[in-house]
A = this chain, B = another copy of it.
């Protein structure tokens, strides 16, 4: 993890794609790099990944070699990160593969639609569809939802929509450095700018992705920036960030908002880590420790 902390700034913050084709080229390049790493990680962790379609939404069923007896009725929904444009298709399964391997849960990873072809609300529609379908076969108390970055934000907007549609809440959620505010609000957007070596700055590429996703909608719309939504009635939650994370403020503001709404939300912050670096190296002891914490949290709070 020290090597990741010491790495130079990711130069992609300077990217400024102008056309749909340029966006797709940026996304494709990143996806190929992830796809090249995935088979080795799956093999090391003993995880199987199968594509599927759920009520018309593409998804992947991510299964560890062994599922503990108390996890057999449980399912986790995974909403991948990637600033709302990265990680299409199988490249979006990385976090789910890590979670399945380290934590021993069956996972449904949603391959939600993304810009430039499908801006808001396509991703939200897809996530809610998969959640609704899951509830047809699974008790909500057996269901956990997790995701990092854009995926953590999408988890929150999914629950806001579920509330509005009178769907039951899941048993627990895990939000990793969730992008709950797309406006430039939050202390660490300023104090950790040019220090977080993953996101680097809210300006530049990140701001471009936010505008591309929002597609003209107000960035303060709670369906886009769920920190502005009403989280009363949410299930118990665990939130994760790092001391150098550009979204440390997004995370602690969401934690406070959940606590203020009476939700039993807990927080973990990792020393020296930039945005979601707990997913970057599956050999790092901190990666296992992170997944162990989340696994324990779901184990305590989901119905067996």
Could you tell me which A residues sit within 8 Å of B by CB distance? 5, 186-188, 191-192, 195, 243-244, 248-249, 252-253, 255-256, 259-260, 266-272, 289, 293
Contact = CB atoms under 8 A, between A and B. Distances in A.
B270 A256 contact: yes
Given A191-B192, A192-B191, A289-B260, A255 B268 contact: yes
Given A243-B252, A248-B243, A187 B293 contact: no
A252 B289 CA distance: 14
A91 to B, nearest CB: 30
Contacts of A5: 187
Contact of A256 (B249, B253, B271): B271
A102 to B, nearest CB: 16
27 contacts: A5-B187, A186-B271, A187-B243, A187-B244, A187-B271, A187-B272, A188-B243, A191-B191, A191-B192, A243-B248, A243-B249, A249-B271, A249-B272, A252-B269, A252-B270, A252-B271, A253-B271, A255-B268, A256-B270, A256-B271, A256-B289, A259-B268, A259-B293, A266-B267, A267-B267, A267-B269, A269-B269
- Copies of this chain held together in the complex: 2
Contacts of A271: 186-187, 249, 252-253, 256
B267 A268 contact: yes
Contacts of A186: 271
Nearest to A289: B260
Contacts of A268: 255-256, 259, 267
Contacts of A195: 191
A198 B201 CA distance: 26
Contacts of A259: 268, 293
Contacts of A256: 268, 270-271, 289
Contacts of A243: 187-188, 191, 248-249, 252
A243 B243 CA distance: 8
A272 B185 CA distance: 11
Contacts of A289: 256, 260
Given A191-B192, A192-B191, A289-B260, A269 B244 contact: no
B244 A191 contact: yes
